[in-house]
Amino acid sequence: MDCAPIPYRKTAFVCVHARADGRVACGNPGRGGPEVLAALKDGVKAAGLQGRVRVARSGCLDLCEQGPNVFLHPDNEWFSGVTPANALALLKKLTE
Ligand code: FES
């Protein structure tokens, strides 16, 4: 295994985990995780940040009740209850 440089300046991990067993999850219908992911991806494209900023879908981050959850690396910042309307503010953080 080789240690490689981090390929992106910043990465947003967006939980889109869904569950079919009735338990709450960021990716369940109506919870908004996939919509947050799409809004951030669209924003990164519109800002021409591809290749520098990565928006990655994440599995469960274990704070399901507070979701949708987004984790920003390397800022080490965590956001809960994120909606697509928050995408602009998150994009600003991704460009700082
Ligand atoms: S499903 Fe998103 S934190 Fe668990």
| 10-21 per-position pLDDT tens digit | 999 999 999 999
Alpha helices in the chain, H assignment, sequence order: 33-46, 87-95
The alpha carbon of 2 and the centre of ligand 1 are apart by a number of angstroms equal to 31
pLDDT band at 86 (very low <50, low <70, confident <90, very high): very high
Nearest CA to 42 out of 72, 61, 14 is that of 14
pLDDT band at 96 (very low <50, low <70, confident <90, very high): confident
The enclosing H or E element of 15 equals strand 10-15
- The one-letter code for the residue type at 45 is K
Q: What residue ranges do the domains of the chain occupy?
A: 10-95
The superfamily in CATH containing domain 10-95 is Glutaredoxin (3.40.30.10)
Query: What are 26-40's pLDDT values in tens digits?
Result: 999 999 999 999 999
pLDDT band at 84 (very low <50, low <70, confident <90, very high): very high
Predicted structure pTM score: 0.95
Q: Give CA–CA dist 58/25, Å, rounded.
A: 12
Q: Give the count of alpha carbons within 13 A of 54, CB side only.
A: 13
Ligand 1 pocket, residues with Cβ under 6 angstroms:
15, 17, 25-26, 60-64, 67, 69
